[in-house]
Structure 1
Amino acid sequence: MTEISVIGGGSWATALVKILTENKVRVHWYLRRQEQVDAINEQGVNPDYLNFVKLDTHYLVASSDLNHVLQKSTILLFVVPSAHFPQLCSTIDAESLQDKKVITSIKGTVGKENVLPSAFISNYFGIPSSRQAVLAGPCHAEEIGMGKKTYMTICSPNDVFLQHLKPGFSSRYLSINLHTDIAGIEYAAIYKNVVGLVCGMAKGLQYGDNFMAVLVANAIYELQLLLEGLHVADHRIACSSYLGDLLVTAYSPHSRNRSFGELIGRGYSVEQTQNAMSMVAEGYAATQGLYETAKNLGLNMPIINTAYRVLYNHMAVTSEFKLLERNII
């Protein structure tokens, strides 16, 4: 891979652009705000996210013109919040994507139907899964920015596409695992953000390590239950792209979902928490999507239920955790 178009201007997009440009992949980067574009093109720094990272501008051109960026490469990487994805797609001419391959790293269900990002792209643009790939963790943007050892998973049913992408994302500090289970990886990436929220709530409520260990153990069981209910269960859930991604989000101080949940646990309202955070916590929107999915499948998932009742039914977090205590083992 020698060239790619990246759509999205947050910390994860910035981390991915860092990796790509380090590997001398030419990046055409779409960001909404012109001040970000100017700072990146002139200084090689995203002023709003990971501003300690110096990007190689020899392999990078930023632009606020979405259509221009989409036209510049045959491979597109979408790194935007799931809640914003349908509106973004509505501004794109579907015919302009017919010869493109699409990578997504979007960790939430999309639209009122709560579909996976890959399914949304297939339905909206008519792009089959054979021309799609998904990037997943476990990895935090901050640690990639610092060059700390990280493992990333790239998923696609198209092995040729996987092999084409791998060199562009591999580096001395980044090991790449290849996988074919797009749906399983996407659902795991979405669910782990809800787990991060609930673990953050527990921390805000001052639960200790003993309770947290039981909470995460139950989350692992819930993830297995969800994947089996969706018929996308993998025989190796205890690997980096499933369990590893869940654990890093549950425990890491870099997790914005954990930070979001911690504020809720400390008594902040959803609105106050959203205003206090400079970055989007995907777990908030993911909670609603997964709650509806689990309900439709007839699954009893106490952790998802707790997150939903606190965030969307505005139930008291203290009383909901007392109920959760009785529903986990």
Structure 2
Amino acid sequence: MKEIVAVLGAGSWGTALSMVLDENGHEVRLWGNDPEQQKEINEKHTNHHYLPDVVLSESIIAFTDLEKALEGAGAIVFVLPTKAIRAVAKQVALLLDGKNKPHLVHASKGLEQDSHKRISVIIQEEIPAEKYDSLVVLSGPSHAEEVAKKDITTITAASENQVAAGYVQKLFMNNYFRVYRNTDIIGVELGAALKNIIAVGAGALHGLGYGDNAKAALMTRGLAEISRLGVAFGADPLTFFGLSGVGDLIVTGTSVHSRNWRAGDLIGKGHDLDEVLNNMGMVVEGVATTKAAYELAQEKGIEMPITEAIYKVLYEKADVKQVIEDLMLREGKAELSSETMEKGNKEI
């Protein structure tokens, strides 16, 4: 099936997903609000700021006119910074007539500041259900730089509507980009958002000179925190052992491709947060997500010591080394909760 697909967001991930869709024979319209970027993509077939040394297909057309980008689209893919989702969704809602009902897909990873809402919730609040066919979350362990080079990648399409998830699966899947279906939207979105916090922490450990033992400890206990918060909001705990949980955590918490890891690395080396963010040139979702997750944990009374520690470093300018020492000297505890161990004993 050949579809017209509007990809909203011409950053690295939006561009990489456009390349996958183009490879699969779809008509790709890549929307952004920068006229110079649009000109570069359409005339030079590059997006150098986000994906240096990558040549785009001439059939990928960039737009700054949202109405033209959406015209006749069978699918609309949101690949925007979290802070831009609501505003763009409002614009999309005004342009959809309810006759041609596109499938909506979002591939962004974060939580809205202040409201702490997941991205699918924001989209559903701003775009009336009668104006679109379905909403699917696309997420998993994936660096745009590697997808653009056709490196092997596996991700998840999550929706309560498995027909819709299957549609997105077929839309994107090929011999280097494999998509699995999932029904747990809450778990997939929270796993995608919260792993960015742990990636910032993993980068900070590297910047401080700590080794693999420390990184493994952080990521393992970080995953426990992600699962704890996710389950409190109705997620399936098994989701966090899948692609959008441990898979995404591994790829984001161990790679120089990850802007969250790079930001943490610089903070660990003593750089000021504002300086890091100003020089990054791209959105570092983990910084804002740390604040949202910390506030959620406080509201729910959920213990998230690693998230709290990273919050203190980012927002209270706490000393990184002191925060790590405080974590290590916390009261000794069982690795698994009493409820988990009790359940395990019954099963044995």
What displacement does 1:14 show? Answer: 0.9
Deviation string, structure 1 residues 248-304 (Cα, Å, up to 9, x no partner): 111112111000011111111111001221221110111111111111111110111
1:140 aligns with 2:149: no
**CA distance 1:28–1:95, change in 2 (3 Å):** closer
Matched, 1:117 2:119: yes
CA deviation string 1:154-173 (max 9, x = no partner): 11111221222222211211
Tell me which residue corresponds to 1:108: 110
The aligned counterpart of 1:187 is: 190
Partner of 1:34: 35
- The residue identity in structure 1 corresponding to 2:260 is N
The partner residue of 1:288 within 288, 291, 297 is 291
Distance 2:329 2:216 in 1: 15
Count of residues paired in the alignment: 328
Gaps of 5+ in 1: none
Q: Offset at 1:12?
A: 0.5
Q: Which residue is equivalent to 1:71?
A: 71
Counterparts of 2:277 and 2:242, CA distance in 1: 32
Measured after TM superposition, the shift of residue 17 of structure 1 is 0.5
Pairing partner for 1:279 from 279, 282, 293: 282
- Structure 2 counterpart of 1:167: 170
Q: Say whether 1:243 aligns with 2:246.
A: yes
Cα 1:97/1:199, change in 2 over 3 Å: farther
Higher Cα Rg: structure 1 or 2? 2
Deviations 1:58-85 (A, max 9, x none): 3x22111122212341321010111222
Contact 2:184–2:236 (Cα < 8 Å) also in 1: no
Q: Distance in 2 between matches of 1:308 and 1:94?
A: 37
Q: In the aligned structure 1, how far is the partner of 2:89 from the partner of 2:241?
A: 34
Contact preservation (8 Å) 2:118, 2:190:
yes
Q: Secondary structure of 2:47's partner?
A: coil
Say whether residues 1:259 and 2:262 are aligned partners: yes
Compute the displacement of 1:306 (Å): 1.1
Q: Of 125, 128, 131, which aligns to 1:126?
A: 128
SS in 1 for 2:125: helix
What amino acid is aligned across from residue 311 of structure 2 in structure 1? Y
1:304 alignment partner AA: T
Task: Spell out the pairing of 1:12-51 with structure 2 (5 A cutoff).
Answer: 12-51=13-52
Identity of matched residues, %: 32
Q: Which moved more, 1:102-111 or 1:125-134?
A: 125-134
Q: CA RMSD in A?
A: 1.9
Return the offset for 1:189.
Answer: 0.3
Q: What is the TM-score when the length of structure 1 is the normalising length?
A: 0.94
1:135-166 CA deviation, whole Å, 9 max, x = no partner?
10111111111211111111111122122222
* Paired residues of 2:184 and 2:239 also in contact (CA < 8 A): no
CA distance in 2, matches of 1:84, 1:313: 26
Measure, in 2, the Cα distance between the counterparts of 1:94 and 1:182: 26
**Contact kept? 2:110, 2:118, Cα under 8 Å:** yes
Contact 1:83 1:110 in 2 (8 A): yes
Verify: 1:153 aligned to 2:156, yes or no.
yes
| Aligned mates of 1:256, 1:27 — CA distance in 2 | 26
Q: Which amino acid aligns with 1:244?
A: G
> Counterparts of 1:183-222 in structure 2 under 5 Å?
183-222=186-225
- The alpha-carbon distance between structure 1 residues 92 and 245, as it changes in their structure 2 partners (threshold 3 A), is same
Contact 2:32 2:63 in 1 (8 A): yes
Task: Give the aligned residue type for 1:127.
Answer: A
Greater RCO (Cα-Cα under 8 Å, separation 6 or more): 1
Deviation at 1:236, TM superposition (A): 4.9
After superposing the two structures, state which structure 1 stretch, 119-128 or 21-30, moved more.
Answer: 119-128
CA contact (8 A) 2:104 2:135 kept: yes
Per-residue CA shift, 1:92-143, capped at 9, x if unaligned? 4446264332111111112421100001111122338971001101111111
Q: Indicate conservation of the 8 Å contact 1:310/1:316, yes or no.
A: yes
Q: Structure 2 counterpart of 1:83, which letter? A: K
* 1:194-246 superposed Cα distances (whole Å, 9 cap, x missing partner): 01001111111111111111111111211221122112123353222211111
Task: Tell me the secondary structure at the aligned position of residue 258 of structure 1.
Answer: helix
Which residues of structure 2 form unaligned runs of 5+? 336-348
Looking at structure 2, the residues matched to 139 and 226 of structure 1 have their Cα atoms a distance apart, in angstroms, of: 23
Q: Is the 8 A contact 2:86 2:123 kept in 1?
A: no
- Specify the alignment match of 1:306 in structure 2: 309
